[in-house]
Structure 1
Amino acid sequence: MTSPPVQAASPARLYRVGEAMELLSLSRSVIYELIRSGRLRSVREGRSRRIPGSAIAEYIALLESEAR
């Protein structure tokens, strides 16, 4: 069973790592490295790691500011 395609980051939503991979077009290892380095915030939900939609928006804003 496959999950439906991810459309856009919603600030109120918690994304699985796989969904964040699709949204950001990054590999699983890069997502986890960004989490470890503190460039991408995440939260624990039980044993699962989730990325808030607001954290994805912040990461994109960080990339845009670094590009200037």
Structure 2
Amino acid sequence: MPTTNATPGPEQPRILLRVEEAARRLSISRTTMFGLLKSGEIDSVLIGRLRRIPTTALDAYTATLAAGPNAA
């Protein structure tokens, strides 16, 4: 019988992050992250009562920043 590992390892990258983890990944504060979520600039999902941010949403957000008018 195969066993399942709930903790992602190197072969299983996490695809959903807690708000704090997503903020850390972008090097911003938790408050700023909540502001970006509230404004809709970063997408998130609800799983029950838990808010999670897909890593693809962070990629999309950073891509829009890089393509924006202030891009270097």
Larger Rg: 2
Distance 1:57 1:35 in 2: 14
Deviation at 1:18, TM superposition (A): 1.1
Counterpart residue number, 2:36:
34
Counterpart check, 1:48 vs 2:50: yes
TM-score (norm 2): 0.74
1:48, distance to aligned residue in structure 2 (A)? 0.9
Q: Post-superposition shift, 1:51?
A: 0.2
TM-score (norm 1): 0.78
Matched residues, number:
58
1:62 to 54, 61, 64: 64
User: RCO higher in 1 or 2 (8 Å CA, sep ≥ 6)?
Assistant: 1
Q: Who is 1:4 aligned against?
A: none
Deviations 1:10-36 (A, max 9, x none): 6x6000011101100011111011011
Q: Which residue of 2 aligns with 1:20?
A: 22
Q: Which ranges of structure 1 fall in alignment gaps of 5 or more residues? A: 1-9
Runs of 4+ residues over 3 Å off in structure 1: none
Structure richer in helix, relative to its length:
1
Per-residue deviation, 1:46? 1.0
